[in-house]
Amino acid sequence: MDDVSYLLRVSLSDRPGSLGQLAVGLGTVGADIRSLEVVERGDGYAVDDIVVELPPHALPDTLITAAEKVDGVHVDSLRPFNDKLDIHQELELIDAVAAARGDRLQVLADLAPRGLNTSWAMVVSQPGPRTVLLAASSGAPETPLEQVDWLPLPHACGFTPDARWVPEAWREWDQRLAAAPIGDGSKALLLGRVGGPEFRPSEVARVGYLTGIVSTLLGSAR
């Protein structure tokens, strides 16, 4: 059987050698680090997304135990991962939207989950009393949104899972949610992560930058 990949989000002390100590700790349970992306840096700490491979016979919980034995390390989330971390994916997304001859909003929704490391994406608007779904990726919730009272959206933001507009069926899947305006904010890119991790402020800002560029490509900002 092939090794199994997981995405491990960790908070750790931002000091020399801390990542090496984490790698050694993960190695004690047979884990192999395949890629790493710095999500956020603050005063004395860093948040990293790490893709690790674990032998098929090993339990994923051993990753959490091994990581948190390292001084200054806290595991924010752990989930199966079948893709790869690649900072160029956002640029590829922008290029794909620019080159699309058909529904550019659908292209955005289709490619956003991979480029932004989310479970799903959709583009929504609310020109009247009800929400209109303009595009959705595979894996997006089937239960429709009845109302998004946060539109128009002035800037990118994250939402708590228990926000009143979130359908009950979505809450059962423990969604982590964030959105960013497209154009004048009457439309928005809505992103979800099933089971986490939370959207960090730096990630929310990245989504906002991305939709700002896409808005220009779509001509929505005029």
All structural domains of the chain, each given as residue ranges with its CATH number in brackets, are 4-80 (3.30.70.260), 89-218 (3.30.450.40)
Taking the C-alpha atoms of residue 152 and residue 182, their distance in angstroms, rounded to an integer, is: 10
Q: Which two tokens stand for residue 102?
A: 């058909």
* pTM of the predicted structure, to 2 decimals: 0.79
Q: Residues 148-204: pLDDT tens digits?
A: 999 999 999 999 888 999 999 999 888 999 999 999 999 999 999 998 889 999 899
pLDDT at position 86: 60
Q: Which two tokens stand for residue 191?
A: 């992103």
Q: Which two tokens stand for residue 199?
A: 């959207």
pLDDT at position 6: 92
pLDDT at position 203: 92
**Residue ranges, the chain, pLDDT below 50:** 220-222
Beta bridge partners of 118: none
Q: How many CA atoms lie within 13 A of 35 on its CB side?
A: 12
142 exposed, middle or buried (CB, 10 Å; 0-12, 13-18, 19+)? exposed
Taking Cα atoms as reference points, which of 158, 157, 160, 130 lies closest to residue 145? 130
Taking Cα atoms as reference points, which of 68, 114, 79, 86 lies closest to residue 4? 79
Strand intervals (E) in the chain = 4-13, 32-41, 45-54, 74-80, 120-125, 132-136, 157-159, 175-182, 187-194
Residues whose CB is less than 8 angstroms from the CB of residue 219 and which lie 6 or more positions away in sequence, other chains included? none
pLDDT at position 85: 63
Which residue is listed with tokens 């009845």? 146
Q: Which two tokens stand for residue 109?
A: 């929704």
Q: How many CA atoms lie within 13 A of 184 on its CB side?
A: 5
Residues whose CB is less than 8 angstroms from the CB of residue 220 and which lie 6 or more positions away in sequence, other chains included? 182, 183, 184, 187
pLDDT at position 128: 84
